[in-house]
Structure 1
Amino acid sequence: MAIYATNGAKLFIGGSMTVDGDDLTVTDFDGETWVEVGETENLGKFGDTSNEITFAGLASGRQRRLKGVRDAGTMEVICGIDYADPGQLALISAEKTIFDYAFKVVLNDAPEGGTPSERYFAAAVGSASEALDTADNVMKLNSTLWINSNVVRVNAAEA
């Protein structure tokens, strides 16, 4: 079993897309034109979790838990600001709309001569704010992606 560093992972944004509630497949992203979001520092976390539904039974005196709807999460993306980066400009533009957009994450885990793992999902860009911290910091673009679909996993493959 192997582990891999996050270093080398890349985020891409595509065009707007309609999400109807059904699980997406990799073919839903065929023909997409991808633009890399440059100068990424942190891609945050994403992936399904189920909401908790609780029931406090009077007779049993026992809390019971059921699984509710699934939520792929909110991805907090941090980039060093690059005013000319097409991907960062696309994030800023997408934040100004009500639409979901196609996203792709490419991991740095390809076997020698093979292809890396990829993750695909649709998300609304909930924020695109600038963080101007103290003197010895890089100015950052912080973007929140509200994932509104399942995350499609494509695993790394041998050559």
Structure 2
Amino acid sequence: MAKYITGGTRGFIGTSAAAKTLSEYKADLNPGTEILEVEDFGQFGDTANEVTGTAVGDRRVQKFKGSLNAGTIALVCFKDNQDPGQLALKAAQKSDLDFNFHVVLNDKPTAAGAPTEFYFRGKVMSSSDNVGNVDNLTRTTFNIGINSEILELPSSTTART
């Protein structure tokens, strides 16, 4: 089993154009605006809400899967007021609309292969700066609330078209 480092992962923001299918995401995010100076991409992925009920006869709580929540990404960047990607995130934070996002991992299994890619829509919920102390780099954290299914294209030994 191969292992890959996160270094080299890239993130992009698109527009607020509605996208659900891979072709719709690609139309908006080709190439998209790259978000530079990312220190931490955070975590994302579906978690089902727990729905419970208890049968009187056996007094056993039964658990079921409810609605799905893809999470909120805490995207941490080194603050760069000249980066078009960070400027796009700041503009998106002032909007009530969902925007398209694309994350590309650094995990191509072969030189001719394709990396893992994620596509999703979300709202930029907040943008907050952390100035820190004398020995810190100033950082901006953008919280992105995911409001769609996350489309994942797994890495491949062959290039994608």
TM-score (norm 1): 0.92
Contact (CA 8 Å) 1:72, 1:151: kept in 2 or not?
A: yes
Contact (CA 8 Å) 1:17, 1:99: kept in 2 or not?
A: no
In the TM superposition, what is the alpha-carbon distance from 1:80 to its structure 2 partner? Answer: 0.1
**Matched residue SS, 1:15:** coil
Aligned to 1:44: 42
In the TM superposition, what is the alpha-carbon distance from 1:154 to its structure 2 partner? Answer: 1.1
Identity %: 37
1:86 alignment partner, one of 79, 84, 87: 84
Aligned to 1:115: 114
- Greater displacement, 10-19 / 122-131: 10-19
Aligned to 2:10: 10
Aligned to 1:147: 146
1:35 alignment partner, one of 33, 36, 39: 33
Aligned to 1:135: 134
Q: Which one has the bigger strand percentage?
A: 1
TM-score (norm 2): 0.91
**Matched residue SS, 1:87:** helix
Unaligned residue ranges in structure 1 (runs of 5+): none
The one-character-per-residue Cα deviations of 1:46-70 (angstroms, maximum 9, x if unpaired) are 1111110011333321111110011
1:76 alignment partner, one of 37, 61, 74: 74
Contact (CA 8 Å) 2:17, 2:28: kept in 1 or not?
A: no
**Matched residue SS, 2:76:** strand
**Matched residue SS, 1:5:** coil
Two-structure CA RMSD over aligned residues (Å): 1.3
In the TM superposition, what is the alpha-carbon distance from 1:28 to its structure 2 partner? Answer: 2.2
Which structure 1 residue ranges, 4+ long, deviate > 6 Å from structure 2? none
Q: Does 1:26 align with 2:22?
A: yes
Contact (CA 8 Å) 1:17, 1:122: kept in 2 or not?
A: no
- Greater displacement, 51-60 / 112-121: 51-60
**Matched residue SS, 2:90:** helix
The number of residue pairs the alignment matches comes to 155
The one-character-per-residue Cα deviations of 1:87-117 (angstroms, maximum 9, x if unpaired) are 0000000000000000000000112122211
- Greater displacement, 108-117 / 69-78: 108-117
